[in-house]
Amino acid sequence: MQVEVPGAGGSSARGGGAQPGVDNGLSSASENDSRLRGDPASGLQSLRKVVATDLRDFVWIVQSDLERHAGSCDLPTFVARMWKEPAFVCTFWLRTVAWLRSERPALGLLMPLAGLAKRHVERKYGVSTPASAQIGPGLFVVHVGGIAVSPGCTIGRNCTILPGVILGEVNRGARAGSPAIGDDVYIGAGAKVIGGLEVGSNVAIGANAVVTKDVPDNAVVAGVPATIISFDGSAGLAKAQQGGV
């Protein structure tokens, strides 16, 4: 299972492919760092190019989240959501810290401030989404409160998460590890997905379900423990969804 995550150190989980508006043929971070160690006279110019490249990745993934939240990704919409929507505020600071910690050590001086802002909003609104988790574009946290994601979790594109969701790690046994969530997955309020299992794409997980086994593509699961009740998928469940990537 692979998810392409711009701004997450080149790691990927489900669904590779080109990013809209992002040049995937750009040099890797190590190549860029090597270039910066070359001619001192061109160092500042190279640094500017590298930062601009990484900034495009960051802006693109924030826009993909905003599109899911609001149906548009222009500047007025961004300002309005940052002002009045706690769920998007938490998502924005998650993306900011993930980008700073993995892409550009040269911008490391900003990390303490971004980390402080992230911790503040997450504690205020009851959300725990570590920057080490690999989360694809188009994340839609519908409401805040009681949301916890394991640091080793992998989440695909266009995931919808409701309050009370826990994506938890198991430290022993056959299911040791953290969940790997596919693309276009809807996770209902209070649902728990526990251990090193795989949830396929276009899956709907019902409210308060406890998922302890792999879930195939297009399945709808519910109950404790969760069982498959249909293969109707997740289409249409996220009413605020206006797009996706």
Q: Summarize pLDDT for 140-164 with one digit per residue, the tens.
A: 998 888 999 999 899 999 999 999 9
Residue (of 192, 216, 223, 222) closest to 202 by Cα position: 216
Highest mean pLDDT among 22-31, 91-100, 107-116: 91-100
149 and 231, same domain (yes or no): yes
158 and 114, same domain (yes or no): no
Three-state DSSP state, 11: coil
- Boundary residue ending a domain (99, 125, 151): 125
Residue 99 has pLDDT above 90, yes or no: no
The pLDDT confidence band at residue 58, using thresholds 50, 70 and 90, is confident
115 and 88, same domain (yes or no): yes
Orientation of helix 111-125 relative to helix 86-102, angle to 10°: 150
- Boundary residue ending a domain (88, 103, 125): 125
118 and 146, same domain (yes or no): no
- Domain assignment present for residue 14? The answer is no
- Boundary residue ending a domain (87, 103, 125): 125
- Domain assignment present for residue 173? The answer is yes
98 and 155, same domain (yes or no): no
Helices (H), the chain: 29-36, 43-70, 75-84, 86-102, 111-125
* Parent domain of 168: 127-236
- Domain assignment present for residue 175? The answer is yes
144 and 165, same domain (yes or no): yes
Averaged pLDDT, 189-215: 93
pTM, entire model = 0.73
67 and 99, same domain (yes or no): yes
228 and 191, same domain (yes or no): yes
